[in-house]
Every structure is written in structure tokens, then in C-alpha cells.
Amino acid sequence: MNTERDTIDERVTEYVTVMIGSQLFGLPIARVQDVFMPERLTRVPLAPPEIAGVLNLRGRIVTAIDMRRRLGLPPRTGTRPAMAVGIELNGESYGLLIDSVGEVMKLADASREPNPVNLDARWAGVSGGVHRLDGQLMVILDVDRVLDMANTAVAA
């Protein structure tokens, strides 16, 4: 019994950390296909505003999601090009446009905390909890919920 509890406590998840605006986010590494520089983005007329466009990544068509818009943040300024985190869902490829990529972090599931109740609804909709790190908080991005555009309306 005791050992079982131990394994639960010891369970860790690896996260790829990214910056969107001034906030640190973490994506479970198992869901991240690759990180790339989005190039030649084609706008899709009449598309929802969160969809930045589509692009060709090694022969695959990738749908790019503007994470700043998705989170209700102001558009990116500055000259540093955006980065994208490649994600696959139901055989389709998506790229989450973020400001920059950080490092890979191993964090114990036990230290994950639920979303604060007063978190912005738009954020709460895509967040899978929070980790307290040294000096900052890391919000866990729930990839499936990020790609579920239907729940944007709630916060809008």
C-alpha cells in the first residue's frame, strides 16, 4: 500500500516551457512533436481570429494557432520572430504560435496545484493547473482544450 502511494507521489511529468506574453507556460512533452520557426504563413480568410493561418511544414499542412489571441493577450510587438510548438491531434497537425521556447522541466505531479478560482475564464479554459517554480508560476497548457475552439466563446 505504502509503496503504491509512493509511486503516485513520485510520478513526474516533463514539460516544455514557453513564454506567451510575460507568462511562463508548460506543455506536457509527450504532446509536443517539434518546435519550429513558422515561415510563410498563409492567412485563411473567414477563419476564426485565433487561427493565424496555415503553413507548409515538410510537406504537411499545419494549422497555426495564435496563442496570444487564444489567451486574450495583445498582439506581439518587437522584431523577434515567433516560434511554434508542433502538436498533433486526430491525425492533424497544429502549430501553437508562442513568443519563445524555454527549457524542458521535470516536475512532480504532486506539486501541481489546481487553477486559482479567480483565474481569467479564458485562461482557466485552457489551463490544466499551476506549478510554483522558483520566482515564478508555470501554467500548464492543456493542449486538447487549447485546440477546442468552441470554448473560446465562453470567455469572449
Partner 1 sequence: MDDLLREFLTETNESLDVVDVELVRFEQEPNNAKILDNIFRLVHTIKGTCGFLGLPRLEALAHAAETLMGKFRDGMPVTVDAVSLVLSTIDRLKDILGGLEQNQQEPDGADGDLIGELERLAVGAAADARGAKSTAGSLTYQVLERALRPGEVSLDELERAFRETAIERPAVTDGKVARPERRLAAEDEERVESKVASQSIRVNVDALETLMTMVSELVLTRNQLLEIVRRHEDSEFKVPLQRLSSVTAELQEGVMKTRMQPIGNAWQKLPRVIRDLAAELGKEIELDMHGADTELDRQVLDLIKDPLTHMVRNSADHGLETPDVRRAANKPEKGTIRLSAYHQGGYIIIEISDDGRGLNTDKIRRKAVELGLASEAEAEKMSETQVHKFIFAAGFSTAAQITSVSGRGVGMDVVRNNIDQIGGTIDVKSVPGEGSSFTIKIPLTLAIVSALIVEAGGERFAIPQLSVVELVRAQANSEHRIERIKDTPVLRLRNKLLPLIHLRRLLAIGEGDAEPENGFIVVTQVGSQTFGVVVDGVFHTEEIVVKPMSTKLRHISMFSGNTILGDGAVIMIIDPNGIAQTVGAAPAVAESEQQRDAKTEKMVSLLVFRAGSPQPKAVPLSLVTRLEEIDCRKIELSNGRHLVQYRGQLMPLVRVNDEVRVRTEGTQPLLVFSDSGRSMGLVVDEIVDIVEDTLDIEVGSDAPGLIGCAVIKGQATEIIDVGHFLPLAYADWFRRKEMSTQALTRSLLLVDDSAFFRNMLSPVLKAAGYEVTAVAAPSEALALIKKGGRYDVVVSDIEMPGMNGFELAEAIRGERGTAIPIIALSSITSPAALERGRQAGFKDFVAKFDRQGLIAALKESTIEWVEAA
The residues of the shown chain that bind partner 1, judged by CB under 8 A, are 40, 42-48, 51, 54-56, 59, 61, 63, 90, 92, 94, 147, 149
Q: Which is nearer to partner 1, 47 or 110 (CB)?
A: 47
Q: Which is nearer to partner 1, 126 or 130 (CB)?
A: 126
Q: Which is nearer to partner 1, 58 or 80 (CB)?
A: 58
Are residues 108 and 9 in contact, defined by beta-carbon separation less than 8 angstroms? yes
Are residues 75 and 104 in contact, defined by beta-carbon separation less than 8 angstroms? no
CB of 80 to partner 1, least distance (A): 23
CB of 40 to partner 1, least distance (A): 6
CB of 42 to partner 1, least distance (A): 5
| Three-state secondary structure call for residue 94 | strand
Q: Quick one: which H or E segment has residue 122?
A: helix 121-124
DSSP string, 31-85: GEEEEE---SPBP-TT--TTEEEEEEETTEEEEEEEHHHHTTPPPP-SSSPPEEE
CB of 95 to partner 1, least distance (A): 11
Q: Which is nearer to partner 1, 39 or 109 (CB)?
A: 39
| Three-state secondary structure call for residue 136 | coil
